[in-house]
Structure formats: C-alpha cells, structure tokens
Structure 1
Amino acid sequence: MHCLVTGGAGFIGGHLAEAFAREGHDVTVLDNLEPFYDVDIKRHNVEAAREAATGEYAFVEGDVTDEELVAELVADADAVYHQAAQAGVRASVEEPLKVHEYNVDGTLNLLDAARDTDLERFVYASSSSVYGKPEYLPYDEDHQTTPVSPYGVSKLSAEHYARVYHELYGVPSVSLRYFTVYGPRMRPNMAISNFVSRCIHGEPPVIYGDGTQTRDFTYIEDIVGANRTLMTDDSADGEVMNVGSTDTIDILTLAEVVRDAIDPTLEIQFTDAREGDAEHTHADVSKAGELIGYEPDVTIREGVENFIGWYRENDDWYDDLVRRS
C-alpha cells in the first residue's frame, strides 16, 4: 500500500511513517518543517523512517495549504494519514488565523483532493482539545464539544469536514481524537520531556498551575497500533473515535513519578498556569474498542520508564534540543 503521511516529519507522523515503511509499505511524507520546535528533531524523524524503509520512501517538503501539490500527492496514494497541523494550544491563542489556515484549510484541501480518487482510507488526527470543559469524565464521543482554544476549534471544524466529505462524497474518512501522546522523539516542550530533562540535570521539575490538572497520556506505540489497524479495517469509516490510554494521572503525580525515577531528592516547583490548557482529560475508548478492537497496552508508569530509558540512550542529540526549547 502507498501511504501519504502529512506532517510525517513530526512526532506522531514520524512514528507512523517509520512503522509503515518498516512493514514494507511505500511511504510519502509531506511536511513543511515548520519551526514550531527545533527542526533537528523532525530531521531525525525523517531519517529514522528512511533507514527503516523496506519499500519506497520519499520526503516532500511542502505544505498542506498548497492545493496543487496536495492534489498530486493524494492522487498517487492508497491511504492518507493526515497528521499535519499547527500544534500547540497556547500558540493558537496567540495566532488563531495561522492555526485555522493550516488545520482547517489544509484539511479541506486534502479532503477535496481525496473525493476524486479511489482512496481506501483517510485517517484524520484530531484531538481531545475538541471537548473543552468536562461535563463528566471520562469523555465519550457523545460528550458536548465546547473547545476552549482556537486549536480545539480548528480540530473540531476539520472533523466535521471529514464527516461531511464521507457522507456526501464517499471519502472513507475516520477521525481519531488523540489524548496527550508521548514517547521517543516527542516534542521537547511537552511536560514529560521537560520533567525528564530537568531531573537528569539535577534541576527540580516545574509545574504550571497547582498540579491537580489530570491528563490521559497515551504512549506512541498505542497510537501507531490504532492507525495501523485502520489501514485495512473499514468498520470505522465516517466515525469519530477517542484514542487514549489505560489510565489518567494528575500532573503533580506525573512529576513525582519522573522525579522519583531519576533523583528523589529534588523538590518540585510550581509557577503560574498557562492560558488555554484544559483542566482535565480522560478518554472513554470503548467505541474504538468495539469498532476496531483498540486496546491500549502501555500504562503511564511503563511509558515514562520507557521514555526515560530512551532519553538516556539518545541524550547526545535530544537533550540539547529539549534544553533549548
């Protein structure tokens, strides 16, 4: 199968491209190398997928807002894994128009190109940010969607386009609502990478807010597994599904888990909360379980242990990038 992975130099897209390439699929990555964080991490993602490839692998530097380029690449693909987005809840508060252009207009370009093809699957990477303030937890897909950031609004808008293009034009689209994905080569400005970096350097982890915020952290291997299943499983076409983890954890406990694994003598510090962040996220993944057999395997403590081990093995290049973020 020929897979087009947009945002395939990013964290999640890079892992998808690497996994598909290793499994013998032909992979084309479209990424504009947006410097939202250090592009050296993105270059590592590209090289990891290129080295893993047992089929054809091609990297195209370009943008999902380029209609002509998008149409050309989608026409050659059997499946589209649309991971490209202007990331960052807090960044979206500062630049909402940019977020709309990439996340909504870019998605619409891809969907419009897809309706004139025989595409087998269009998988859209959405986010738990579409829910906003919880009326109840865990979130199921019937929970009210009232996002509290431009990023969340953009993700929800693109979900609706994916649904409409399935209903009107038969595009075999599926939207996956990711819940705080983490793991090797993750963005350096995420809580887990920052906690690990600071503790390794003998510095206390810093929490934004009081630490009572909860997150449903999802290990990257579980995300890859859900996307891999959708390559050949059409039972979720037209649907929106949560893809989360096995448990939830508050940020203070997360900081303690990281601290205790590296240097239990460090004292945790606190600073002001960040604007636009949700207070709580927790996924009900029963729908994904029913439709595609999704069963997350990695607990937060197992995932943190894995990430710390990977961090130590790759600190010759990754640590410096985290420290600069």
Structure 2
Amino acid sequence: MKVFLTGADGFIGSHLAEELVRSGHQVRALCIYNSIGSHGWLDTIDKDVKANMEIVMGDIRDPYHMAQLAKGQQAIMHLAALIAIPFSYVAPDLYVQTNIQGTLNLLNAARDAGIERFIHTSTSEVYGTAQYVPMDEGHVLQGQSPYSASKIGADMMVKSFYTSFELPTLTIRPFNTYGPRQSARAVIPTIISQLAAGKKEINLGSLTPTRDFTYVTDTAKGFERALHASTGFGEVTNLGVGFEVTIGQTFDIINELMGAGAVATEDPNRIRPANSEVERLFSNNEKAKTVLGWEPEIKGVEGFRAGLAKTIDWFTNPVNLAKYRPDEYTV
C-alpha cells in the first residue's frame, strides 16, 4: 500500500518505517521539521532501506501541509505525538495542540483524500492504574496525566470520525515498548545508559509500578498487520505481551545482565505526583490475535531477558551511547 507515516523519525516510527519497506509498502515518511535537516532515527538505519522511502519534513499541527501530504496515499499510519509524561506537567497546552489538534488535522486530511484506512496510535497510559488485570480494551479510561488526557482526547476524536463520517479507522494501543533507539526519558534506556557510564547508584523514579514491556520489533509488526485487517474498524486493539514486571525487577535484570553491581535509588525529581502515577499495567492481547493475527515473538520472563540483552547491546555500542546524556535527567 501507499502509506503516509507520521512520526517516522521517532523510536517506534523508525522501526515501523523499516518494517513497512521490508514488507513491500511504499512509504511517505514524515519527520518533524528542523533547520539542520535531521531525519531523526531514520538517519541511522540501513541506507538501502531508507532509500526506498519518500522522506518529507513538516509538523502535524499544520492542517494545510497535512492535507497536501495525504493526497495520493491509501493509508495513514499516525504515530507522531508528544509522549514524555513529565514534560506534559510542564507544557500541557503543547500536548493538546500536538496530540489532539494534530490528530484532528490528519483525520480531516484523510477524509478529504479518501484514505482507505487510518491507523492511529494510542497508549496504555490512557487506562491509568489497572482496575482489573489483564486489561482488555473495555477497561475504563483515566487521564492521570496531561499526556494521557491528551491521548484520550485524540482516541475519541478518531472514534468520532468513524461514527460520524465512516472513516475506516483502527486504533492500536501499545503497551510499554522498549528496544534500540528509545528516548532517554524512558526507564529502560535510563537504567542502561547510567550503568554503561559506570554509575553505581542509578537514579530512577518509583520502583514499585508494574509495566507490560513489548519489544519494539513486535510492536512494529503489530502495526504493519493493521494494514491487512478486515475487522476492528472503529475500535481499539491492544498490543501487549501479557506479562508484568516491576520497575525494580527490571532494574535487577539489567543490572545482572550488565554485571554492574549497582543499586537503584528513587530520585524525588523523577517521581510522578502521587495521583498521577500509573501503578499497574498488564495487558490482555487476545483481540490482537483475532483482529491483527498478531502475537509477540518475544514474551515471558526469558523473552524479556532476551529483549533486554539486545537492547543493552545496542545502547552500549559507543556510537549509540554517545547520543545519550546519562548525567542529565531528560524531562
């Protein structure tokens, strides 16, 4: 298919761009405009793969530009967003502008261009702390941070375009994706980069919350499968492993794999406001098996260890590690 992919320069987006090209799709890859012409993580991928993409620069907050870029495409895969939870406490307006208004701009562009399917990226953060586990798509939505509230708004906007205008939408809701190229604001890169820098006291936020970590190539494959789905339109589908682990346990595994002998400490600056912290995430992925024909290849305790080992290998490469600042807390 001819696919317009937003957020292609980001963590998941760059992996998805690769997956789409290797699966035979024609990719128009949107990178955030910047004055130095950087294509983000796409600048680091295989040159032959990148050469098979049409890379464009822009900003989803510009409705006219999005309308132009959507023309001639069959599908829109919308991954562009502001995602850092701590920064959403600082700049909530920007999250509304990007995550809600930006999504609306793309929905309007899709409608005008006659897009055959609009694949939207949600997040497990919209569920908030688990009210029951495993968490299926019917779980209550809780805006426990400005970020999660903005994504709930975007999700509802997408749903409204299905019900109001019959735009063929699918909303994919990934749980906690990890792997090479992830932002330094995420917990796994935070742990690995500090250990790789030789630190013995690792500064983290709360150690007790649980997460359902999904390796990034599994997430990318789930999104690609959405291009082939024949059901699930107007609905949400979780992408998760169905396995939970605490942040403290995650630290222990990485510490062991790296042979670091370090200890984890809770840094007050990294701890979310009490009522904003999501204490537990643990997915039910049965719908993904039915709607997408997808299930994770990397799963369970041993799968998690294997995924972490691959992530460590990437981050500890000096070329990659140089892109991170382990001495600084990235909001």
Which region of structure 1 is more displaced relative to structure 2, 112-121 or 170-179?
112-121
- Secondary structure of the 1:141 match is coil
1:146-178 CA-to-partner distances (Å, cap 9, x unmatched) read 120111111111111111111222211111111
TM-score (norm. length: structure 1): 0.91
In the TM superposition, what whole-angstrom CA distance separates every residue of 1:26-52 from its partner, at most 9, and x where no partner exists?
2112222589xxx97x53324526531
State the identity as a percent.
30
Contact 2:6 2:31 (8 Å CA) reproduced: yes
Q: Retained in 2: the 8 A contact 1:67–1:109? A: yes
Residue among 48, 51, 55 paired with 1:51: 48
Give me the whole-angstrom Cα distance separating, in 2, the residues matched to 1:151 and 1:126.
11
Question: SS at the partner of 1:139?
Answer: coil
* Stretch of structure 1 that moved more, 137-146 or 197-206: 197-206
- Give the superposition deviation at 1:271: 2.2
Amino acid at match of 2:272: R
Contact 2:175 2:240 in 1 (8 A): yes
For 1:223 and 1:15, how far apart are their aligned partners in 2?
A: 9
Partner of 2:272: 274
TM-score normalized by structure 2? Answer: 0.90
Query: Within 2, Cα distance between the matches of 1:10 and 1:50?
Result: 17
Higher mean displacement: 259-268 or 75-84: 259-268
User: Residue 310 in 1 paired to residue 314 in 2?
Assistant: yes
**Which among 160, 166, 170 is matched to residue 166 of structure 2?**
170
SS of residue matched to 1:186: coil
Tell me whether 1:137 sits opposite 2:133 in the alignment. yes
8 Å Cα contact 2:193-2:324 kept in structure 1: no
Contact 2:7 2:81 (8 Å CA) reproduced: yes
- Is the partner of 1:115 in helix, strand or coil? helix
2:296 alignment counterpart: 296
CA contact (8 A) 2:124 2:174 kept: yes
Equivalent residue for 1:67?
63
Contact 2:8–2:79 (8 Å) recurs in 1:
yes
From 212, 218, 224, the counterpart of 1:222: 218
Q: Distance in 2 between matches of 1:235 and 1:54?
A: 33
Q: Aligned residue for 2:157?
A: 161
The aligned counterpart of 2:31 is: 31
Q: Distance in 2 between matches of 1:3 and 1:288?
A: 21
1:213-292 pair list within 5 angstroms: 213-272=209-268, 273-275=271-273, 276-292=276-292
The gaps in structure 1 that reach 5 residues or longer are: none
Matches within 5 A, 1:72-83: 72-83=68-79
Query: How many matched pairs?
Result: 318
Tell me how large the CA RMSD over aligned residues is: 2.1
User: For residues 236-289 of structure 1, what are the alpha-carbon distances to aligned partners after superposition, in whole Å with 9 as ceiling and x for unaligned?
Assistant: 211101111241110111000000111242222222222333111111111222
**1:162 & 1:49 partners in 2: Cα distance?**
33
SS at match of 1:145: coil
Distance 1:115 1:19 in 2: 26
Matched letter for residue 294 of structure 1? W
Return the alpha-carbon distance in structure 2 between the equivalents of residues 34 and 286 of structure 1: 40
Using the alignment, how far apart are the partners of 2:321 and 2:54 within structure 1?
Answer: 24
Against the structure 1 CA distance between its residues 316 and 97, is the aligned structure 2 distance closer, same or farther, given a 3 Å change threshold? same
Which whole-Å CA distance do the structure 2 matches of 1:159 and 1:131 have between them?
Answer: 12
C-alpha displacement of 1:117: 2.8
Check the 8 A contact 2:195/2:260 in 1, yes or no: no
Q: Check whether the contact 2:60–2:98 (CA below 8 A) recurs between aligned residues.
A: yes
Consecutive unaligned residues of structure 2, counting only runs of 5 or more, are none
Contact 2:3–2:26 (CA under 8 A) maintained in structure 1: yes
